[in-house]
Amino acid sequence: MKAARLEADYARLRAQLEALQAAPEKDFAKIDALIDELEKLQLAIKAAHGIKGNNPNE
């Protein structure tokens, strides 16, 4: 259940990031902040599935 909620949050933030990137005037501070949040969520999703870190060999 936790992984599903994390994945939903990831999808929501990903949609926000895509909207910011498509905007005529880029807000790079918000884009950078969203990328940081997406990275944290990605690691949390991996942890929920028993994977640690960004190394695919772990």
Phi, psi at 36, each rounded to 5°: -60, -45
First-last CA distance in the chain:
23
pTM higher than the cut 0.85:
no
Tokens 């918000």 label which residue? 30
R_g of the chain, CA atoms, integer Å: 13
pLDDT at 6: 93
pLDDT tens profile 2-51 = 888 999 999 999 999 999 999 999 999 999 999 999 999 998 998 898 88
pLDDT at 50: 85
